[in-house]
Amino acid sequence: DVQLQASGGGLVQAGGSLRLSCAASGFTFDSHSIGWFRQAPGKEREGVSCINSGDGSTSYADSVKGRFTISSDRAKSIFYLQMNSLKPEDTAVYYCAADASPFMAGTRIHLGLYYEWDYSGQGTLVTVSS
């Protein structure tokens, strides 16, 4: 069974940094794209970033480009979201996710469209104070 366990959320001041982690099992990073989406209070879910399994490329939402970095440790089956220069509007529950499509999730993130991932874990709350 695919399992995804996110951690690393917390309270941080604007301008600060956090690193989210996602422990994955039940699939390989070669076979599935991996990434993050978020949901802020009262808002729709938003794709944040992913690593496309098709070619290892990364995709980012315009709202986080240049501030967030996605990476993975294949040996440990963990992937990360390094979040720098955090803003109050980054406040949300962040979910890690995986998808069998090699490029679909990344394409949707690039276009600013939400994508329904095949698998997602429980979220971790990130709160950015002003």
Query: For residue range 16-38, what is the model confidence (pLDDT) as tens digits?
Result: 999 999 999 999 999 999 999 99
Predicted pLDDT of residue 14: 98
Cβ(72)–Cβ(78) below 8 Å: yes
**Of how many residues is the chain composed?**
130
Q: Which residues of 71-103 are buried (b: 16+ CB within 10 A; e: fewer)?
A: ebeeeebbbbbebeebeeebbbbbbbbbbebbb
Is 80 within 8 Å of 20 (Cβ atoms)? yes
Q: What is the pLDDT of residue 114?
A: 86
Tell me the mean pLDDT in the region 81-90. 98
Stretch 82-93: mean pLDDT, rounded?
Answer: 98
Report the pLDDT value the prediction gives residue 75, as an integer from 0 to 100: 94
pLDDT at 77 > cutoff 90: yes
- In 1-130, the DSSP E strands lie at 3-7, 10-13, 18-25, 33-39, 46-51, 58-60, 68-73, 78-83, 92-99, 119-120, 124-129
